[in-house]
Structure 1
Amino acid sequence: MSRLNTSLFLTALSTLSLSVLAQTQTVNVYTYDSFTSDWGAGPKVKKAFETHFPQCQVNFTAFGDSGTMFNRLRLEGKKTKADVVVGLDNYNQEEAEKSGLFAPHKVDLAKLSLPIEWKHQIFLPYDFGQFAFIYDKAKVQQPPKSLKELVERDDLNVIYQDPRTSSVGRGLLIWMNHVYSENDVAQAWQKLAKHTVTVGKGWSDTYGAFLKGEADLVLSYHTSPLYHLVFEQKDQYLATEFAEGGVLQIETAARVAQHDNACADHFVAFLLHPEAQTHLVKNNVMLPVIDASIEPHFDALKATQMHTKVIDTSNVNATQLKKWLAVWQTTLTK
């Protein structure tokens, strides 16, 4: 090839490369750190998404928890670089919506399969689960049958998470205030405190303490035993079944209104793709939000959970949560 032809070829190649790069669009995703960890769903969802949409590139920014993530977003306001937020749940979406930072998604909600009807046009569910206390059946032969029994049973030591820093702990806060009246809940917290080993900052350290044998029960998810069964072939861990029903957590994704980003729209919609759902379910150890075959044990639990009694928490709002949290803090500091 002559020098002239070589020069023309390299110029053409350079122009083509710049054209391809110009078509590539970055999706900045704010989320929580366990989602982006090596064992989390994030890296697998990112890889699958970029395979389906090669013109899009996902960039994760991880925070210690969803609360910290949302506070950072509010602080940045219209100057935020985030295109998508992954990890807000059904109990902080009211406050998130009032911020005005999010835009409606473009996903058909008819695709969803949840225990409750979902109509929200801003926050799109990507997995769900019920809170439950987990125990080792070899150590606890007579598990409590209700939350009230758990509170009263001082022969059972428990661990749960701080509702100020953990969405799981916030689940117990909601649970307690639906089972107990406003006049009785403080006394119930006091009774529970008498046989609480520790109130941890987050799920990881508290669940780890439980596995080390530091408590009889730990607050987690109804899906937690599936991790041990499917990935460790251990069947001794079970979830409590409470007569009054459990509290549902639905994790969601949302588009940030500030940026017009087609790849961000694709990413949010992709979270409902069967391939993404498989990664989300197995790595988050939660349940799918669409009708899809993921894994026999998860599929069986999903079928059961679709008809399991859940407490109606649709009217829980930010004002109530702050009030309930204040009662919990005051009670534990007495």
Structure 2
Amino acid sequence: MRLSARLALVALASFAGIASAAADTPKLTVYTYSSFVAEWGPGPKITPIFEQQCGCKIEWVGVGDGAGLLAKLKLEGDRTPADIVLGIDTSLTAEAAATGLIAPHGIDAGAVKLPVAWDDPNFVPYDYGYFAFMWDTQQLKNPPQSLADLVTAGAEPKLLLEDPRTSTPGLGLMLWLKSVYGDKAADAWKGLAPKILTVSKSWDEAYGLFTKGEAPLVLSYTTSEAYHVMSEQTDRYKALVFPEGNYMQIEVAGMLKSSKHPELAKQFLQFLVSKDFQTVIPTTNWMLPVIDGATPSEFATAAPKPQKALLLPADEVAKHRAAWIKEWLEALGQ
């Protein structure tokens, strides 16, 4: 056999071996929100860490925002190719569990430290934060000092908000007003209505408009201030902490009952509460980690802590969410 022919056979065999190894590598499919897998998000940083640990490949599927994730799972049902859903929060966990698609995780979440007790058998928390209005100090001299100031009738200052039907921050604001104003939440929305410049489908869209100078206030998180201080070295943008309290968001992940790789899915959920994952979260997802020892020291001053944390029970939100969204639509005349 000629040398060239032997080399060709060796190359072919080598290629076949590589292809076979690739075919044998299990793939874990993770549904999450788009910003998680953006080039600046946690996804690209944690992927090589977990893939080395699991001997698998992660396939990320970015699906808008948290509310969009739940809608996609409902649409696909038990035919979903997802092994993991990552990015819904406690405003949606009861509704997600009610689909029957989520399997109990069965992992050790003893390292989790949150401002509230956590014992959900279906979902693992991986970060948390507090909703806040971010204030552009160059556009607005005197920001509102309270939620009551903000909902006072008038057309100024202009606000950028997110839609509670498609965005977890948008849903968070709806629950924030409901927590503070209860049966009078519709009146609070009517007070906000003249100030609203636009209601975006996602946080990404609304925050992009904010940083372009379209309005001096946007619904975001207290930790957004830390982002600007630590990544952009600017104190132009400030998070407003209100005396009535700021609404808390706890983001979670769960495994699908239909997962083709349940053991890998459990390994991934355990990874979420490890130091390898948690130390990545603060400066990529710009949220607070759920274990001790993973928060950057700069967060102590750059991410203001609310005077009061507000959080409605997940089952109460699931019971009333449709009615509260209808109330929101009617109050804004949509």
Question: TM-score if structure 2 supplies the norm length?
Answer: 0.88
Structure 2: runs of 5 or more not aligned? none
Over 3 Å counting, the alpha-carbon distance change for 1:235 and 1:14 in structure 2 is closer
Q: CA RMSD in A?
A: 2.9
Distance 1:125 1:320 in 2: 23
| Equivalent position amino acid for 2:313 in 1 | S
- Which moves more between the two structures, 129-138 or 314-323? 314-323
Counting matched residue pairs gives 329
2:327 is the counterpart of 1:330: no
Paired position in structure 2 for 1:309: 308
Deviations 1:235-260 (A, max 9, x none): 12111111111111111110111235
Shift of 1:214: 2.1
2:30 corresponding residue in structure 1: 29
Q: Is the 8 A contact 1:210 1:217 kept in 2?
A: yes
Cα distance in 2 for partners of 1:299, 1:58 equals 33
Secondary structure of the corresponding residue to residue 295 of structure 1: coil
Q: 1:134 maps to what in 2?
A: 134
Which residue type is aligned with residue 327 of structure 1?
E
Superposition deviation, residue 22 in structure 1: 7.2
SS state of the match for residue 182, structure 2? coil
Alignment of 1:217-228 (within 5 A): 217-228=217-228
Range that drifts further, 202-211 or 282-291: 202-211
Q: Are 1:96 and 2:100 counterparts?
A: no
Are residue 194 (structure 1) and residue 208 (structure 2) matched?
Answer: no
Q: What are the Cα deviations for residues 175-211 of structure 1, in whole angstroms up to 9, with x where unaligned?
A: 11121131x2222211111122222222122112222
> 1:69 & 1:93 partners in 2: Cα distance?
12
Alignment check: 8 A CA contact 2:243 2:307 kept: no
The amino acid across from 1:311 in the alignment is L
Q: Unaligned regions of 5+ residues in structure 1, if any?
A: none
Query: Structure 1 residues 69 and 254 mapped into 2: Cα distance closer, same or farther (>3 Å)?
Result: same
* Distance apart, 1:289 and its partner CA: 0.8
1:216 counterpart residue number: 216
CA gap 1:14/1:165 in 2 versus in 1, 3 angstroms = closer
Determine if contact 1:106/1:269 at 8 Å carries over to the other structure: no
Contact 1:159 1:218 (8 Å CA) reproduced = yes
- In 1, Cα distance between the equivalents of 2:150 and 2:158? 9
2:180 maps to a residue whose letter is V
Give the alignment's TM-score, normalised by structure 1: 0.88
Counterparts of 1:34 and 1:95, CA distance in 2: 23
Structure 1 runs of 4+ aligned residues shifted over 6 Å read 9-19
Pairwise CA distance, 1:18 = 8.4
Counterpart amino acid of 1:128?
A: Y
Residues 1-334 of structure 1 mapped to structure 2, 5 A cutoff? 24-53=25-54, 55-152=55-152, 154=154, 155-182=156-183, 184-259=184-259, 261=261, 262-298=263-299, 305=305, 308-314=307-313, 316-333=316-333
